[in-house]
């Protein structure tokens, strides 16, 4: 499946109403995007770079896609570097922050987006697999936020943006661990939002749903075939009920929240689901 990552007009420029001067919204800022090499994360990485941010794209299983996304950003005049890291490991959070500071000297925006989704039925979930989902989808968000906070404070305009899911609020019968982790992300966002203002940091969550992305490449062939059939059946069932979106829809919202225009937003949970939660 081919996704157009340049779909939708980009929200990347701001205008000073007093001078009429146009500037890129995130010029000179530095961002981390976990899981930033494909899908929603790729859409976020591209939009951040178009808005002027230097981006560290953290990948794990498929570094090829992270590297390709960096090359694409550079081909358009942006700055991006890849970093391979297993975010399920507790020590990885500090590694990501240290790498970013070494590479760019500062940190202004943390986008927690990494997600692991085995798509197992509840009776098929081994304890260790459930724990891995929680380690990647929830605990890595907490660990990275903790490691990043001192540097986001130094920024003076620090932003934490967590990519949750509509399934943080809506039952996802296809993967109980994924939905449980995303519900945790939504609550973690609110807790961080309470702590952040004393350091000049805001924290918000975006809840995508119904976004056109590549199918997961790490699944076994049989699992992938079954998962596709579930997705196709659901898309047929709800075809005329909600509007599918693109990774760039989420990317535009991230840019807004990361910009000065978004500084009033804190602790919000913004659905980017085309109305999917209604059905």
Number of H helices and E strands in the chain, helices first, is: 8, 9
* Catalytic, out of 5, 116, 125, 178: 178
User: Measured between alpha carbons, how far is 129 from 215 in angstroms, rounded to an integer?
Assistant: 20
Residue 178 CA: distances (Å) to CA of 27, 173, 209: 35, 10, 13
Do residues 108 and 33 touch, judged by C-beta distance below 8 A?
A: no
Enclosing H/E stretch for 39: helix 39-50
Can 178 be counted among the known catalytic residues? yes
Are the CB atoms for 171 and 234 separated by under 8 Å? no
User: Residue 273, SS3?
Assistant: coil
Distances (CA, A) of 114 to 75, 216, 232, 257: 24, 13, 24, 18
Could you tell me which of 110, 111, 109, 116 has the C-alpha nearest to residue 62? 116
Residue 39, sorted as left (phi over 0), alpha (psi -120 to 50) or beta, turns out to be: left
Structure tokens at 174: 């296809």
Q: What is the C-alpha separation between 141 and 121, in angstroms, rounded?
A: 24
The percent helix, strand, coil of the chain (3-state, each to 5) is 45, 15, 35
59 near 37, Cβ under 8 Å? yes
Catalytic residue numbers read 178
């Amino acid at each position: 499946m081919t996704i157009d990552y340049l779909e939708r007009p980009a929200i990347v420029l701001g205008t000073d109403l007093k001078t009429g001067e146009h500037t890129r919204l995130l010029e000179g800022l530095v961002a981390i995007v976990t899981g930033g090499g494909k899908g929603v994360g790729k859409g976020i990485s591209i939009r951040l770079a178009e808005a002027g941010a230097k981006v560290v794209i953290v990948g794990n299983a498929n570094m090829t896609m992270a590297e390709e996304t960096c090359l694409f950003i550079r081909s358009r005049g942006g700055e991006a570097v890849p970093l391979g890291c297993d975010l399920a490991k507790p020590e990885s959070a500090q590694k990501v922050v240290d790498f970013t500071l070494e590479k760019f000297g500062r940190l202004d925006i943390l986008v927690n987006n990494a997600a692991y989704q085995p798509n197992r039925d509840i009776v098929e979930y081994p304890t260790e697999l459930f724990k891995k989902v929680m380690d990647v989808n929830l605990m890595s968000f907490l660990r990275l936020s903790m490691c990043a906070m001192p540097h986001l404070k130094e920024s003076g305009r620090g932003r934490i943006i967590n990519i949750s899911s509509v399934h943080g609020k809506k039952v996802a019968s296809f993967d109980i661990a994924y939905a449980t982790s995303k519900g945790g992300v939504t609550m973690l966002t609110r807790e961080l939002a309470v702590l952040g203002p004393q350091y000049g940091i805001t924290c918000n969550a975006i809840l995508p749903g119904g976004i056109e992305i590549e199918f997961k490449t790490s699944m076994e062939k049989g699992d992938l075939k079954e998962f596709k059939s579930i997705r196709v059946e659901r898309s047929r069932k709800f075809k005329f009920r909600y509007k599918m979106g693109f990774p760039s829809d989420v990317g535009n919202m991230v840019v807004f929240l990361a910009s000065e225009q978004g500084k009033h937003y804190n602790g919000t949970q913004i659905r980017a689901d085309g109305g999917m939660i209604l059905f």
